[in-house]
C-alpha cells in the first residue's frame, strides 16, 4: 500500500510556533522621513523607527499603532516629547485617550 500524502495546508503548525506574535525584521524608511529625522534627538529617532516597525506589523496583523511603554521601552515623558516632535515634523498624527498609551497614525 502506498504511503498516504497529506497536503501541507492540512498539517498542524510546527511545535512552538503557535501563538507566536508577528515580529517584523525590517521596515521601509522613505526620503521624507529620512530628511525630517536628520538632527533629531536620539529618543525621537528611536521612536520614529519603532513607529515604522509597528506600522509594518499592523499592516499584517491589523489594529492601530499604540505606543505603550512595553512597545517603545521609553518612559512616558520621553515618549510623549518625542511623539510631539514627530507630529511637529509632519510625520505622524497623535491621538491621546486620557491616561492611556498614545495612538498614532502615519501621515
The residue written with cell numbers 498614532 in the block is 104
The predicted model scores a pTM of 0.74
Per-residue model confidence (pLDDT) at position 6: 46
Report the pLDDT averaged over residues 50-64: 89
Report the pLDDT averaged over residues 2-27: 57
The hierarchical CATH code for the domain 28-106 is: 1.10.10.10
CA distance 19 to 11: 16
* pLDDT band at residue 60 under the 50/70/90 scheme: confident
Q: Between these two residues, 28 and 85, which has the higher pLDDT value?
A: 85
Domain ranges of the chain: 28-106
**b/e map 18-42, b = 16+ CB within 10 Å:** eeeeeeeeeeeeeeebeebbeebee
End-to-end CA distance of the chain: 61
Mean pLDDT taken over the chain: 82
Amino acid at each position: 500500500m502506498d504511503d498516504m500524502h497529506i497536503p501541507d495546508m492540512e498539517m498542524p503548525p510546527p511545535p512552538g510556533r503557535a501563538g507566536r506574535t508577528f515580529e517584523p525584521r525590517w521596515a521601509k524608511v522613505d526620503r521624507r522621513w529620512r530628511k525630517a529625522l536628520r538632527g533629531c534627538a536620539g529618543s525621537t529617532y528611536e521612536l520614529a523607527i519603532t513607529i515604522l516597525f509597528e506600522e509594518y506589523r499592523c499592516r499584517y496583523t491589523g489594529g492601530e499603532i499604540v505606543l505603550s511603554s512595553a512597545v517603545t521601552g521609553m518612559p512616558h515623558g520621553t515618549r510623549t516629547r518625542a511623539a510631539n516632535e514627530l507630529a511637529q515634523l509632519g510625520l505622524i498624527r497623535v491621538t491621546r485617550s486620557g491616561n492611556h498609551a498614545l495612538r498614532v497614525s502615519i501621515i
